[in-house]
A and B are shown apart, each in its own frame.
Chain A
Amino acid sequence: MNSNNQNMETAIHTHSDMHRDDTASKLGMWLFIFTEILLFGGLFIVYSVYRYMNPVAFHLAHEELSITMGLINTIILLISSATVAMSITAIQKGDKRLSLYMVGATILLALVFLINKYFEWGSKFEHGMYPGSDLMDMLSNGDMLFFSLYFFMTGLHGVHIIVGMVLLAVSWFKIKKDAVRSDKYALLENSGLYWHLVDLIWIFLFPLFYLIH
């Protein structure tokens, strides 16, 4: 979000001794990540409350989800976290080529995640299961809450995946143009931090929706 602020030379008022502060950019990103955790935190509370109120319905409803699909996506995101970490190490060591490959691989994995998600959601839609559908209206309260939360939370997570992809894509182009390099990589590091957050949220979503007993 605020990661490319070191780019002060483009500021309208060119402050004479305005210097780059990578620590500040990183601090800003961490603060933003706190807000993201709280954003999902609200949803986790709602989930807990409704699961407490409808334990049986939530248990039965979760069996409609495919653990395999969820597992594949979990593995994809875990690998992507590793590749983005590698891209940062690579740029720190001055290996531009490797860094580009690794950011590229992360974006690719994110895309595979979304495609997987598309098929997963798609199969629900085919069965007439989507927010606002007639089938949803016919479900019991507990079932409906489970699937509503499922669509809402994985949907919001999907939006975050897309934001993360955009950040990584910007980083990719900046690496290519040497605007991100071994002595100036705060943007890539912040995109990486954001990507780990997106990952982390999924690590909680996966057991809550796919693995509950």
Chain B
Amino acid sequence: MENNHLPNYLEYRGKRTGLLGWLTTTDHKRIGLLYFYSMMTFFLTGAVLGILMRLELIAPGRQLVDAQTYNAFFTLHGLAMIFLFVIPGVGAVFGNFMLPIMLGAKDVAFPKVNLLSWYLYVLGAIIVLTSQFMGDGPPDTGWTFYAPYSLKTQTNVVAAVFGAFVLGFSSILTGLNFITTMHRMRAPGMGWKRMPMFAWTLYATGWIQLLATPIVGITLLMLAAERLLGIGFFDPAIGGDPILFQHLFWTYSHPAVYIMILPAMGVISEIIPTFSRKPLFGYTALIVSSMAIAFVGYFVWGHHMFTSGMSEGARWVFSFLSFIVAIPSAIKVFNWTATLYKGAINLQTPFWWAMAFIFVFMIGGFSGLVVGSLATDIHVHDTYFVVAHFHYIVFGGTGFAFFAAMHYWWPKIYGRMYNTKIANIGLLIFFTGFNMLYFPMFILGLMGMPRRYYDYLPQFQDGNVISTIGSWIMISGLIIIITNLIRAKKQTGKIVDNPWNGPTLEWSIQSPPTLENFEELPVVTHGPYEFK
């Protein structure tokens, strides 16, 4: 430990020390790490289930598990990945850690509520996981809980639904906290137009969390009430309307996609200027596009239901709006590439991750237009094409940005640099595996292979074999990446305050930050991306 460094937040000794010091902390940085460790656990659980599913699908017929177990696998894989990893994801981990520092604040507006959010997250996760082992067997509905099957199945749906409800509560409180923080805690001189893009995307995300999550909350409560009390909300046999369930579910769950992707876009918007040594191109346009995505994102949910039974007028409008929402996403990609133009590009690991993000995100985005148009959706709906599309967007988008953020901020969080060479090799293997895993699914989908099926016809086998091999390559890359980062955390290498010459406030303080981030409150005199 160098002498000119003050004790950092990791070394800080409060009233309580050790594990208890972490579990009772209200420090936004420690809470960010609590989210990080719990989230990585669930992410790896989900990944193992994914690998097992891929292994099962390597050939037609039974390989590993029976059909019912397979159904439970994809349900838990979806629940863990969606509700426990990508929805809180970038925001809860890096938002918690970086947002107050980027604003020049010492913490979020409500530190205790922040800790409560994490406890609710863990409680929700525990409920979701116990639903696997209690009652009449693990839920087999998929993460979407579609009625009426979710009302009829004998499995333990109520617990999973209740867990998702609690997780929604956690998500709402995080959003509420971040919005208030940005309204009230900005340092002197930090006007709205001087906030880093990552903060802006968290702001847009916060509003979606607040205004969309309650809808799924109440829907899941209705579903639970229907199962427990026999109230006929969604069961057509007693007057309910299962399509209404889908409407309510997607009213949240489509905006939830933007809860996942917006902070991810924020991360990329931080990385690209830092490694191009240029201000972010079209800063205002990026703010407007973030808010536009949040706003228009509310009105496109119907595109999940083109084949469920909707009037032609409604389908037309939902399809049109889905194309509209692609515009702000495209604005972002154009602005990122324009930032690169004539930049002094520094080819470091986070930059490579950002580039990989843009590549897979564009494949995901364009395939989104395919499923967003009415005629083609009829053909590819509920096929592997959709599976490929959303893994390119959700994993390729949010997941890649999560890893990009890890590599960008790791030296700030732990004060240690990782081995960049191994990190780059890990990324290359991971990226190759990722594309090998998911790209064949586009083709399988176009050939007509339905999603969520346990078995398939022999003509689909080639694609499935490639895909399964891809999953092995990807997981090898993942292991390299994670071990490399963990090793960096343990080794006592050189402490680096600002290894990338980052322009935003978090790079102006020591690594790892002190408990209060800033010894004296910074006064901000210029925008976020000014390079000298």
Contacts and interface: CB of A to CB of B under 8 A. Distances in A.
B245 to A, nearest CB: 10
Determine the main DSSP class of B at the interface with A: helix
B211 interface: yes
Nearest to A23: B184
Given A141-B238, A148-B231, A11 B109 contact: no
Interface string B198-241: 00000000000011111101110110010011111100001111
Interface stretch (A25-33, A62-70, A174-182): A25-33
A97 to B, nearest CB: 31
A136 B232 CA distance: 10
Interface in B1-27: 12, 14-16, 24-27
A60 interface: no
Given A13-B26, A148-B233, A152-B231, A24 B214 contact: no
Nearest to A44: B218
Interface stretch (B89-97, B175-183, B347-355, B462-470): B175-183
A35 to B, nearest CB: 5
A160 to B, nearest CB: 13
Nearest to B27: A13
Nearest to A147: B231
Contact of A24 (B109, B212, B251): B109
B382 interface: no
B299 interface: no
Q: How many B residues are at the interface, by size bracket?
A: 35 or more
Interface stretch (B110-118, B285-293, B356-364, B498-506): B110-118
Contact of B176 (A2, A12, A38, A45): A2
Interface in A17-49: 17-18, 21, 23-24, 27-28, 31-32, 34-36, 38-43, 45-46, 49
Interface in B73-112: 106-107, 109-112
B449 to A, nearest CB: 35
A17 B187 CA distance: 14
A28 B116 CA distance: 15
A132 B230 contact: yes
A34 B207 CA distance: 10
Contact of A16 (B222, B225, B516): B516
A142 interface: yes
Contact of B15 (A12, A50, A145): A12
Contacts of B157: none
Given A42-B215, A49-B244, A144 B232 contact: yes
B230 A136 contact: yes
A1 B251 CA distance: 26
A1 B120 CA distance: 14
B31 to A, nearest CB: 11
Nearest to A7: B112
A72 to B, nearest CB: 27
Contacts of B251: 42
A137 interface: yes
A35 B210 contact: yes
B179 A31 contact: yes
Contacts of A142: 239
Contact of B219 (A2, A42, A54): A42
B519 to A, nearest CB: 10
B474 interface: no
A148 B228 CA distance: 13
A104 interface: no
A163 to B, nearest CB: 13
A106 to B, nearest CB: 25
Contact of B244 (A35, A38, A41, A46): A46
A42 B233 contact: no
A189 to B, nearest CB: 15
Contact of A131 (B107, B225, B241, B248): B225
B248 A24 contact: no
A18 B241 contact: no
Given A42-B218, A42-B248, A142-B239, A152 B112 contact: no
B207 to A, nearest CB: 9
A41 B219 CA distance: 11
Contacts of B24: 12
Given A16-B516, A145-B232, A152-B225, A43 B218 contact: yes
B172 interface: yes
14 contacts: A5-B110, A5-B112, A12-B25, A12-B26, A31-B210, A32-B176, A38-B211, A43-B218, A49-B241, A50-B239, A54-B239, A132-B230, A141-B239, A145-B233
Top 10 A-B pairs, shortest CB-CB distance: A141-B239, A42-B218, A131-B229, A39-B214, A38-B214, A148-B231, A24-B184, A132-B229, A2-B113, A31-B176
Given A2-B177, A28-B109, A39-B215, 4 more contacts: A12-B26, A35-B214, A41-B215, A132-B231
